[in-house]
Amino acid sequence: MKLQFTKMQGLGNDFMVIDGVNQQVKLSTDTIRQLGDRHFGIGFDQLLLVENSPRADIDFSYRIFNNDGGEVEQCGNGARCFARFVHDKKLSLKKEIAVETARGVIYPRLEDNGHVSVNMGVPQFTPKEIPFLADAIEEGDRVIHSLDVDGVSFEISVVSMGNPHAVQVVADVEAAPVASIGPKIENHPQFPSKVNVGFMQIISRDEIKLRVFERAAGETLACGTGACAAVVAGIRRGLLNPRVRVITHGGELTIAWEGNSQAVWMTGPAVTVFDGTINLQGEEYAA
C-alpha cells in the first residue's frame, strides 16, 4: 500500500511526518526501523504521526517514534514541525493548536516570522518522574546528582520534559566526550527508561552551547526537549537568566522559563524538505 509522508527538519533534527488523519496508518517497530535507515530507507531521527484526538478540547494527537522504532513521550523540534505540517496540509486553520502527547498537552503557535513557539509544559525534577534511581532517598528533588560512570563521578541535573534528560555542564562542548560518555549515561542502570544526555557550555547568563546524545538516536544536530531541559537545569543551578539563546550544531533556539510550576517556552524554525510516497509491504497499510 502507498504511504504519503513529508520529510521535515527543525535545526537539522529530521523527521518523517505522517498524516494519520487522512490515512489509516499501522506500522510495526521493524518497519519504522527500516524507514528510519539512512541507507536502505528514508532516514530520520524520529517519525512523527499526526492523528485526531477524541477529546473536544484537543486538536490533535502527536505520537513520536525514535529511529529504533521505540515510541517516546515528547519531541520538541518535532512539535514545531508538527504545527507547520498541520497548517500547510490544511488539517487545521488555527495559528495555535492543542496537541496531546503521551505525557501531557503542548501548545504550538505559528509566529508571523515563520518560526514556531511552543508551550512545552511544566518540567519535572523528582527522581520518580524522570525516572531516575537516585542513590539516597531524596527529599523532593536535588538540583545536582552524582552519577558514577565506570568509576568516574559526573555531576548531572535530571529533568523531564515528558521525556527524560540528564544534563551536565562542560567547559567546552566541542571537547566534550559526547560519543564516549553519551551512550554510557544513556544506558546507565539508574535510568530505567534510559535517558537523553545533554552537554551544556555556559557562554553567559543569556547564552549556552549545547550538544545532546539522544536516547535511541545518538547525537543529533539539535534536540528541542534537550534545549528546554538544559536551560531549566542551568536556571535551577543559578547559572542562567529566564530567557536563553541555545546554540546547537544545527542552529539556534530561544528557551524561556520563569521557574517553579511555570511552563517552558521554546521558539525556533520548522522546515519542510520534501513530500514523498512509499510502498508498504505485508500487513503494514495506509488506506
155 labeled part of a ligand binding site: no
DSSP state of 180: H
- The annotation status of 163 as a binding-site residue, yes or no, is yes
Q: 228 catalytic, yes or no?
A: no
> Rounded CA gap, 210 and 246, in Å?
7
Local structure of residue 280 (DSSP, 8 states): P
Catalytic residue among 16, 27, 75, 170: 75
Q: Which of 201, 196, 225, 227 is nearest to 213 (CA)?
A: 196
Stretch that binds ligand API, among 147-155, 220-228, 242-250, 252-260 (CB under 6 A): 220-228
Which residue of 6, 13, 67, 168 would you call a contact of ligand API, by CB under 6 A?
13
Q: Which of residues 60-79 bind ligand API (CB under 6 A)?
A: 66, 72, 75-78
- Residue 4 CA to chain centroid, in angstroms? 23
Candidate ranges 52-60, 129-137, 222-230, 234-242; the one touching ligand API (CB under 6 A): 222-230
If we measure between CA atoms, which residue out of 273, 229, 224 comes closest to residue 248? 224
The helix/strand/coil state of 19 is strand
Residue 77 or 157 with smaller CB distance to ligand API: 77
- For residue 207 the three cell numbers come to 547564552
Closest CA to 58 of 103, 17, 97, 116: 97
Q: Compute the least distance from the CB of residue 191 to ligand API, in Å.
A: 11
225 binds ligand API (CB under 6 A): yes
- 139 burial level (CB within 10 Å; 0-12, 13-18, 19+): exposed
> Phi/psi at 93 (nearest 5 deg)?
-100, -5
Shortest gap between Cβ of 136 and ligand API (angstroms)? 26
The contact set with ligand API (CB under 6 A) reads 13, 45-46, 66, 72, 75-78, 163, 196, 214-217, 220, 223-226
Binding site listing for substrate: 13, 46, 66, 76-77, 163, 196, 214-215, 224-225
Catalytic residues: 75, 223
Binding site listing: 13, 46, 66, 76-77, 163, 196, 214-215, 224-225
